[in-house]
């Protein structure tokens, strides 16, 4: 619950509803108001079912929407059965709708609840009372809507700050770890191939020392823009740290990853420039193999990057197996690449 805001809201509001409604349900039965007591029990059962569904499936969006519908429907039913006494139950239902569903859906649910209450009309003693109650509900819903929109905006900003690099705008290491774990799980379920490319700008400290950190930051931004232009929308770019980046590529087989990496190496060397010459990068590549987890997969690509740097930089080294690679033949017109392919 500490890591899932929506699930925590669903659970806490569900618990509040249970502890808040149960005493009244018992009171209805003790006083002989069986219909109201049964209505309270139905509301409780619906709320508990929505909370359990959220925990079992992780589908917080649907569970929250259903919980909002159950709460507002229950409020309308109680108001219809009890009249003035039951009208007050609709206020907490109207407010909690904005915590459980998106602001637009909450407006729709609340509007339908008020419309149903007005069409039936039996809960009100007069038209003046109806207009006063509806006006009050609209004011309450409007305030809750403003708060919900503001809260949604702030949560999105916090999530972006937690998962994106502020300089380049690409995702950060924390997001990379989550996406890699998801890729491993998807590979196990669906046998989806994945490739991982780690690349590091060569001698980047010299750029900072010679031209200043501002020029170094510009080079990092230019590099991310270049990689985005040269890759697919499904590929995900992360800033691993400093001048080091990680590219996660779904659906890429081992047979095609060398051409992809060499193309990126060539693009960086030909398009990233300083006043004294081009900026190059070293590349370590690994494809997800059966039995891999995120750590071993990343470590293999990182080992390949280290070897590319030890060979003189501006290299592509592909490591498909955890064993030490054997020297391979160079590719015409480019630095040598090493590739270990099973068999």
DSSP string, 259-275: HHHHHHHHHHHHH-EET
Q: What is the pLDDT of residue 123?
A: 86
For residue 317, give the 3-state DSSP assignment: strand
Averaged pLDDT of the chain: 86
pLDDT range class, residue 44, cuts 50, 70, 90:
confident
pLDDT digits (tens, 9 = 90+) for 142-156: 999 999 899 888 888
Q: Which residues contact 90 (CB under 8 A, 6 or more apart)?
A: 72, 75, 76, 78, 79, 113, 117, 137
Residue environment code for 185-206, b if the CB has 16+ CB neighbours within 10 A, otherwise e: eebeeeeebbbbbbbbbbebee
pLDDT of 331 over the 60 cut: no
Residue (of 118, 111, 116, 147) closest to 132 by Cα position: 118
Query: How many CA atoms are closer than 13 Å to the CA of 79, on its beta-carbon side?
Result: 28
pLDDT range class, residue 330, cuts 50, 70, 90:
very low
Q: What is the pLDDT of residue 17?
A: 80
pLDDT range class, residue 280, cuts 50, 70, 90:
very high
Q: What is the pLDDT of residue 3?
A: 62
Phi, psi of 342 (to 5 degrees): -55, 130
pLDDT of 2 over the 70 cut: no
Looking at beta carbons, which pairs linking 46-53 to residues 24 or more positions away fall under 8 Å?
46/70, 46/74, 47/14, 47/17, 47/18, 47/71, 48/14, 48/18, 50/10, 50/14, 51/10, 51/11, 51/14
Q: What is the pLDDT of residue 343?
A: 29
pLDDT of 327 over the 80 cut: no
pLDDT of 199 over the 90 cut: yes
pLDDT digits (tens, 9 = 90+) for 205-231: 988 888 898 999 999 999 999 999 999
Between CA 156 and CA 163 the distance in angstroms is 11
pLDDT of 313 over the 60 cut: yes
Greatest CA span in the chain, whole angstroms? 91
Q: What is the percent of the chain with per-residue pLDDT over 90, rounded to a whole number?
A: 45
pLDDT of 299 over the 60 cut: yes
pLDDT digits (tens, 9 = 90+) for 45-76: 888 888 888 888 888 889 989 989 988 988 88
pLDDT digits (tens, 9 = 90+) for 16-25: 888 888 888 8
Q: What is the pLDDT of residue 137?
A: 93
pLDDT digits (tens, 9 = 90+) for 73-117: 888 888 888 887 788 888 988 998 998 888 999 999 999 999 999
Residue 250 in contact with residue 183, Cβ under 8 Å?
A: yes
Residue (of 168, 139, 158, 186) closest to 294 by Cα position: 186
Segment of 8-12, 123-127, 131-135, 253-257 carrying the highest mean pLDDT: 131-135
CA angle at residue 73 from 68 to 76, to 5 degrees?
Answer: 130
- Do β-strands 337-340 and 281-287 pair in parallel, antiparallel, or remain unpaired? unpaired
Q: What is the pLDDT of residue 316?
A: 94
């Amino acid at each position: 619950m500490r890591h899932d805001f929506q699930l925590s809201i669903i659970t806490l509001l569900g618990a509040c509803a249970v502890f808040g409604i149960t005493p009244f349900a018992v009171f209805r039965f003790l006083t002989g108001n069986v219909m109201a007591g049964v209505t309270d029990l139905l509301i409780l059962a619906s709320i508990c079912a929505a909370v359990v569904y959220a925990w079992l499936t992780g589908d917080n969006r649907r569970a929250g929407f259903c919980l909002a519908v159950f709460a507002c429907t229950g409020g309308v039913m109680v108001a219809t059965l009890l009249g003035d006494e039951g009208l007050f139950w609709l206020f907490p239902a109207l407010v909690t709708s904005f915590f459980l569903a998106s602001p637009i859906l909450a407006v729709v649910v609340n509007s339908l609840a008020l419309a149903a209450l007005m069409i039936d009309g039996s809960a009100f003693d007069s038209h003046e009372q109806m207009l006063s109650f509806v006006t009050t509900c609209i004011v309450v819903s409007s305030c809750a809507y403003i708060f919900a929109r503001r809260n949604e905006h702030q949560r999105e900003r916090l999530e972006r700050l937690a998962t994106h690099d502020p300089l380049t705008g690409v995702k950060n290491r924390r997001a990379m770890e989550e996406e890699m774990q998801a890729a491993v799980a998807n590979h196990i379920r669906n046998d989806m191939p994945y490739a991982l490319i780690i690349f590091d700008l060569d001698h980047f400290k010299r750029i900072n020392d010679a031209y200043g950190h501002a020029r170094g930051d510009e080079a990092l931004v230019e590099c991310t823009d270049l990689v985005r232009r040269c890759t697919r929308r499904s590929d995900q770019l992360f800033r691993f740290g400093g001048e080091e980046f990680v590219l996660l590529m779904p659906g890429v087989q081992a047979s095609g990853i060398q051409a992809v990496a060499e193309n990126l190496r060539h693009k960086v060397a030909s398009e990233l420039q300083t006043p004294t010459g081009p900026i190059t990068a070293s590349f370590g590549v690994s494809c997800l193999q059966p039995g891999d987890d995120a750590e071993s997969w990343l470590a293999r690509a990182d080992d390949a990057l280290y070897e590319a740097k030890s060979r003189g930089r501006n290299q592509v080294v592909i490591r498909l197996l955890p064993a030490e690679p054997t020297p391979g033949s160079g590719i015409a017109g480019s630095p040598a690449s090493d590739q270990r392919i099973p068999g």
